[in-house]
Structure 1
């Protein structure tokens, strides 16, 4: 299963799809990119005259790439065309270090900690284009084909 096939199985679409490409994919981890579009609606109010990406959106980007895409890859043999995966975020604990501005491209790197009984727990990090750590945390969720 390749990047395009995994992204096609995601249950998200614009404006709530935060995955542009997946660059490394294995059963042990995954990495990918997303560029935050300057015209996205939440920048108009977060914050006045100094727009930055809300932490909840950064967490969502980390979860989509680092948890959901990895879960789809791990369960790839259970997915068929037109499968609509069932996904539930069960926990997230994220520490934030740097802001993400409109138009900025980020890289998400995820390492599987455990996958058991369709529950996936990952250590996920997000970096900016300079390679600086933006945020990191543990994200867990349930996924079923």
Structure 2
């Protein structure tokens, strides 16, 4: 399964798709990136005159690339018909520096455990300078509808 096929199977669409491309995918992890659009809807109110990307959106980006894309790859034989169903079961993320409008980020995810359709990953998000923006553990259930 190619990176483009994985992205096409994602159960998200604009304006809630936070994956531009996957640059590496294996059974052990995934790396991908996303550029936050300067006119994204969430910048209008977060924060007044000082827009930064909300932590919940950064967590979503990490989950979409680091958990869902990897889960689709791991279940590629079961998901041939498409329509994967995803349920986030837990996330614990520590934040260190902000992401500004227009910034490109890279998500690097490493599989910790995958059993009975439950996937748990160690995920980190880096900015364009390679600085650690946030990191944590994200878990979810992935299956076919």
**Per the shorter chain, which TM-score range?**
over 0.9
Match of 1:77 in 2: 77
> How far is the alpha carbon of 1:79 from its aligned partner?
1.5
> How far is the alpha carbon of 1:80 from its aligned partner?
1.6
Q: Residue 59 in 1 paired to residue 68 in 2?
A: no
RMSD: 0.5
Q: Residue 113 in 1 paired to residue 112 in 2?
A: yes
The runs of 4+ residues in structure 1 deviating greater than 6 Å are none
Match of 1:103 in 2: 102
Q: Residue 6 in 1 paired to residue 6 in 2?
A: yes
| CA distance in structure 2 between the partners assigned to 1:59 and 1:42 by the alignment | 14
- Structure 2 residues not aligned, in runs of 5+: none
Match of 1:34 in 2: 34
Match of 1:87 in 2: 86
| CA distance in structure 2 between the partners assigned to 1:128 and 1:138 by the alignment | 18
| CA distance in structure 2 between the partners assigned to 1:121 and 1:17 by the alignment | 21
Match of 1:19 in 2: 19
TM-score scaled by length of structure 1 = 0.98
Deviations 1:80-126 (A, max 9, x none): 24x21110000000000010000000000000000000000000000
| CA distance in structure 1 between the partners assigned to 2:49 and 2:12 by the alignment | 29
> How far is the alpha carbon of 1:14 from its aligned partner?
0.4
- Structure 1 residues not aligned, in runs of 5+: none
Match of 1:130 in 2: 129
